[in-house]
Amino acid sequence: MTGEQIIFLVVALFTLGSALMVVTTRNLIHAALWLVSTLFGVAVIYTLLNAGFMAVVQVVVYIGAIAILFIFAVMLTRKDLRDNTPQTNKNWWAGALIAVLTFAGLVFTLQGWSGFSKTAPAVPSGFDAISQLGEQLTSPNAYVLPFEVASVLLLAALVGAVYVAFNKK
Amino acid sequence: MIPLSWYLILAAALFGIGLFGVLVRRNAVAILLGVELMLNAVNINLVAFWRYGDLATMAGQVFATIVFAVAAAEVSVGLALVISVYRRRNTVVADELDLLKW
């Protein structure tokens, strides 16, 4: 077992353990903080995949913005559900069964795929993933249209969020 | 070297955990937390397929970037809805939001 594999296993266990805490812990502030540690684990996974830009965006956007937004939302809505009421549905076992079946089905389907256990090709020397990504995102021959649509979507979400949460009184 | 299967299994497990959270939690904010976990699992898959497939086209990383933008939009609108509902009905429990139920 190589060092890379050991790092992957440790990070994967950390990520999955934090994710389990996110969905099972009673205190929602703690759930949001466990989400932060899950997102950090995923950022390390991106680094292992040679996607440094993705790792940075994960930390800046997900942890810096989305997780903080969650913490604010929890603080603004916290009054009920803090104490002894159950945090899960009555038929939580059905949800657990569906989740396990989904996982098993995904793994079973992937197992039949020929590329399932292939290893990564070597990164060619001089390959700059970030500049390549920037060119692809702004080139008319590649992905400039989805990029612009995403910016319009973000603007619409901004306006919609302000409108929905605006207190008219 | 890490085989592709490890990443795919990790992503499938993360997706399953997120799905469990979405199906089981009663609090609307906790349901959105589960959705975030599922989106992250998808992103791991996209970036892993980029790394193990064609490096030059960058399609996986571009898709993952778009997913980041969509996740940010989804969370901002979703949490705004939760806060608005909390202000009007004084609850964030998804079961109790049954205005549309006959």
Residue extents of the structural domains in chain A: 1-80, 129-169
Residue A162: how many other CB atoms lie within 10 Å? 11
Three-point CA angle B61, B63, B66, nearest 5°: 110
How far apart CA B71 and CA A150 sit, in angstroms, is: 11
| Domain assignment present for B102 | no
| Domain assignment present for B41 | yes
pTM score of the predicted model: 0.90
What class does CATH assign to A1-80? Answer: mainly alpha
Cα dihedral B59, B78, B32, A87, rounded to 10, equals 180
User: What ipTM does this complex have?
Assistant: 0.90
Which residues from B are below 8 Å from A123, CB to CB? 55
| Domain assignment present for B101 | no
Nearest to A35 among B3, B36, B44 (CB): B36
User: According to DSSP H, which parts of chain B are helical?
Assistant: 4-24, 28-52, 59-89
Shortest CA gap B6–chain A (Å): 8
Q: Do A129 and B61 touch (CB under 8 A)?
A: yes
pLDDT class for A79, splitting at 50, 70, 90?
Answer: low
Q: Do B62 and A16 touch (CB under 8 A)?
A: no
Total tally of structural domains belonging to chain B: 1
Which residues from A are below 8 Å from B70, CB to CB? 150, 153
Q: What is the pLDDT of residues A105-161, one digit of tens each?
A: 999 998 888 877 787 777 777 788 888 888 888 888 888 998 999 999 999 999 999
How far apart CA A33 and CA B28 sit, in angstroms, is: 17
